Structure 1
Amino acid sequence: MLILNGLIAFLATLLAIPVLWFCIQIAAACWRRNSSQPQATSYINSTDSLRIALLIPAHDESVNLIPTLRSVQQQGIKNLRVVVVADNCSDDTAEVARSEGAEVIERTNPLLRGKGYALDFGVQYLAKTLPQVVVILDADCVLSPKVIEPLSLLALTTKRPVQALYLMKNTGDVSVKSKIAEFAWLVKNHVRPLGLHNMGLPCQLTGSGMAFPWSALSAVPLATGEIVEDMKLGIALTALGYPPLFSERTLVISQFPTNQTGVKSQRIRWEHGHLAMIFKEGIPKLRTAFATRDVSLFFLALDLCIPPLALLIALTVIWQLLAGVFWAWSGNSLPFLAGSIYLIGIGCAVAMAWRKFGRHVISGRELLTAPGYIVSKLSVYVGFIFRRQVKWVRSKRDNEPK
């Protein structure tokens, strides 16, 4: 019984850490707005004299690329170098990009596929001219007005990578499940990074709307087959002394696919990639941070170790059920009490995030149906154990056959 109690205490602590850190992040975002974000120094008041390169990796994105490039043109930045990497394309992505005024480089390697390889190819190309700042934008994203300039100036001034607020939106008449997915994305990409920023801590890179000083981007290996290359890049940069900074005032928007094949593929790639990163980078980097006393690396690795929200809630519910059985068998109610605290904490955190940030996305009544959404995602997590996705697969777009 002593050994069993010790194991239960260990597991309770293991679950408590991500639950507590998640709740702290949400509270920091909701209760305190930090107005102390570093600003560009006074002698840098224009991008006209800066060497800024916008790098867009694109695989069969000829249709989505047009609104992306036109939103770039509307930024009104002189001498902005726009480079599109047409990576393993079977459509006319390269021709479309050229027709919109972009500089295009083409890469073909059917064995080494994925965004990381495309980014590496683009960075090697840019190394010939050494830009001061490189901004990375996905080919299916649209920039809000005034994004590239403040991102670039902030990255140059702070000598740190800067992550814009990157949101995904639903379009048209969507299901409640789709609204829950949009809210979950909002929590992950807006609320939690804002909470970290308000505590003076770095944030994860989220894949699009990222500005890098050349010294930082050129210092890390990019040619990897990781399916969540943004997470790996962010923690690698932090380990090298370049912790990413969150910029809430700059907005990049993409759209969730309505194509069900695309939705499923996208969900599996994100979830499996995140879970794999916890074991490959999150836990090892926690040990490294302890050894080197690197506060930024420690808290970013700790943030990485928070599993996807649906899984975190599912694990807590499973714990509560098992703790109830253990209580009935042994008379020890402490594990059940701990689980109750975890569930109340997550529930309060989600409610705070919804009240302050998410009411325009989903109604309170619709949010109460989230347990059904969580159940629908359990197969994704079971698939991580038995059929893990390890290779990058492009999600089908809405204009493609289902």
Structure 2
Amino acid sequence: MLVVDLLLCALALAGAVPVLVLAAQVLASLPALRPVPAAPRRPSLAVLVPAHDEAGLIAGTVAALRDGLQPGDRLLVVADNCRDATAAAAREAGAEVVERHDPAHRGKGYALDFGYRHLAAGGLPETLVVVDADCALAPACLDRIARLSAAHDAPVQAAYRLAPPPLASSSLRIATVATVIKQIGRPLGGHRLGWPCGISGTGFAVPTRLLGLPDGPALANGHLAEDLKLGLDLALAGHPPRFCPQAEVRSVLPAGAAARRTQQTRWEHGHLSLILPYAGALVRAALRRGDARLAAMALDLCVLPLVTLALAEAGLFGLGAAWWGLGGGAAPVLISGASLGLLVLVVAAAARRWGAGLLGWRDLAALPGLVAGKAAILRRFLGRRQTEWVRTERAGEGPPVG
């Protein structure tokens, strides 16, 4: 009995850690954002846009980015394994374009590496800014993250705001709020606590010298979460990313159920696959270097997406309650129950702060379906996890081919 009690208590305490980290981040994010002056010096820069079959969007993205360029800056689009007119559309819109054709190596990491090497052949600028082809980064935001990156000689991530599509369903509105909490609320709270942030894959700036160091990150990879992996690799190399809440990069969540499922699966399977190899490495590096920022990054990495975390906490509570009902100790159910209750309060506070105008009480009726869909994604991770990068279908498109 005692051994089982201790084991269940240990599991409940381990499950409470990400809830406490989330609570700290959310509480720190609640005060209103204050204006902060931009760093004084603007570095030379190149904007790199990886694009796979984005002929319908790339011209608008290029036009918006060109407005933020200064003489000497470069705007490079990597048309990556494209089967459409992405390259031609980008050239016509005024971008420098290179094309990569290598179906055996799919994924944004390979496109970033190809673009970086192309830029290096002509002389690298001081700063590289990466923007996805379906995103908008205003000129002032481009300028701000480039200046901040140069001032701190560190990677800088803009706030990544995903909006719901027109006439979004209740489940999409809930997903939008959860995404805003993950991409803006939590990083903002961590930033105020002095913690680094992860890289969201779009709207980030990085000094180019950090990408060319012998112990620096390898861009060329097909990992599902190549963006998160890049931020972790940079942190382990001694350059943890910083969050810039005053700059926003914007996009829209996919409207179709299949497209949304594809995106969620890629994000979650990618995130989960990085926890074991990187959390321990970050903690060891933190102890070896005496750098608490890396320990904070490890803790942040262990915070699962909200619905997944809720399922895990509910499972621990059910396990503790079942053991108590069989005559075991009450400590496991008390710990897990307190953790689950705190999670509910934290999510409610975060939704009120970051979901204002997006959610109504009626939308909560979609929660059971959302939970069921998330459970299916988790079951697939335990059985047949996704390992190959798959592009998310855009609005108005058919399902991806090949």
Q: Which moved more, 1:330-339 or 1:301-310?
A: 330-339
Shift of 1:24: 0.9
Structure 2 gaps of 5+ residues are none
Structure 1 gaps of 5+ residues are none
What is the CA–CA distance in structure 1 between the aligned matches of 2:286 and 2:315, rounded to whole Å?
A: 31
1:354 counterpart residue number: 351
Question: What whole-Å deviation, never above 9, does each CA across 1:152-196 have from its counterpart, x for those lacking one?
Answer: 111111111110011111121111100011011001000000001
Question: What whole-Å deviation, never above 9, does each CA across 1:350-401 have from its counterpart, x for those lacking one?
Answer: 1111222211221244247534422321000000011100111111222222
Question: What whole-Å deviation, never above 9, does each CA across 1:256-284 have from its counterpart, x for those lacking one?
Answer: 11233222211111111111011222233
For residue 86 of structure 1, give the secondary structure of its aligned residue in structure 2: strand
One-letter amino acid of the structure 2 residue matched with residue 206 of structure 1: S
Question: Is 1:212 aligned to 2:242, yes or no?
Answer: no
What is the CA–CA distance in structure 2 between the aligned matches of 1:154 and 1:142, rounded to whole Å?
A: 19
Question: What whole-Å deviation, never above 9, does each CA across 1:294-321 have from its counterpart, x for those lacking one?
Answer: 2111111211111121110001111111
Question: Is 1:16 aligned to 2:10, yes or no?
Answer: no
Question: Is 1:328 aligned to 2:338, yes or no?
Answer: no
1:388 counterpart residue number: 385
Shift of 1:293: 2.5
What is the CA–CA distance in structure 2 between the aligned matches of 1:320 and 1:365, rounded to whole Å?
A: 27
Question: Is 1:83 aligned to 2:76, yes or no?
Answer: yes
One-letter amino acid of the structure 2 residue matched with residue 170 of structure 1: P
Kindly tell me: are residues 339 and 182 of structure 1, through their superposed partners in 2, closer, same or farther at Cα, counting changes over 3 Å?
A: same
Shift of 1:76: 5.5
Q: Which moved more, 1:203-212 or 1:276-285?
A: 276-285
One-letter amino acid of the structure 2 residue matched with residue 83 of structure 1: L
Q: Which moved more, 1:281-290 or 1:392-401?
A: 281-290
1:273 counterpart residue number: 270
One-letter amino acid of the structure 2 residue matched with residue 241 of structure 1: G
What is the CA–CA distance in structure 2 between the aligned matches of 1:215 and 1:255, rounded to whole Å?
A: 32
Residues 135, 251 of structure 2: 8 Å contact kept: yes
1:92 counterpart residue number: 85
1:7 counterpart residue number: 7
For residue 202 of structure 2, give the secondary structure of its aligned residue in structure 1: coil
Shift of 1:218: 2.6
Kindly tell me: are residues 7 and 291 of structure 1, through their superposed partners in 2, closer, same or farther at Cα, counting changes over 3 Å?
A: farther
Kindly tell me: are residues 234 and 386 of structure 1, through their superposed partners in 2, closer, same or farther at Cα, counting changes over 3 Å?
A: same
Shift of 1:331: 4.7
What is the CA–CA distance in structure 2 between the aligned matches of 1:364 and 1:21, rounded to whole Å?
A: 27
Counterpart of 1:312 (choices 309, 312, 337) is 309
Residues 32, 198 of structure 1: 8 Å contact kept: no
1:198 counterpart residue number: 192
Question: Is 1:295 aligned to 2:295, yes or no?
Answer: no
2:28 counterpart residue number: 28
What is the CA–CA distance in structure 2 between the aligned matches of 1:93 and 1:372, rounded to whole Å?
A: 36
Shift of 1:224: 1.1
What is the CA–CA distance in structure 1 between the aligned matches of 2:368 and 2:343, rounded to whole Å?
A: 13
Query: Could you state the TM-score of these two structures normalised by the residue count of structure 2?
Result: 0.94
Give the 5 Å matches for 1:3-402: 3-31=3-31, 39-41=38-40, 44=41, 47=42, 50-75=43-68, 77-128=70-121, 129-219=123-213, 220-367=217-364, 369-402=366-399
Question: What whole-Å deviation, never above 9, does each CA across 1:105-146 have from its counterpart, x for those lacking one?
Answer: 111111111000110111111113120111000011012351
For residue 140 of structure 2, give the secondary structure of its aligned residue in structure 1: coil
What is the CA–CA distance in structure 2 between the aligned matches of 1:137 and 1:309, rounded to whole Å?
A: 26
One-letter amino acid of the structure 1 residue matched with residue 119 of structure 2: L
- CA RMSD, aligned part only? 1.8
Residues 13, 336 of structure 2: 8 Å contact kept: no
Query: Could you state the TM-score of these two structures normalised by the residue count of structure 1?
Result: 0.94
For residue 60 of structure 2, give the secondary structure of its aligned residue in structure 1: helix
Give the paired residue count. 395
For residue 359 of structure 1, give the secondary structure of its aligned residue in structure 2: coil
Shift of 1:32: 7.6
Residues 63, 94 of structure 2: 8 Å contact kept: no
For residue 243 of structure 2, give the secondary structure of its aligned residue in structure 1: strand
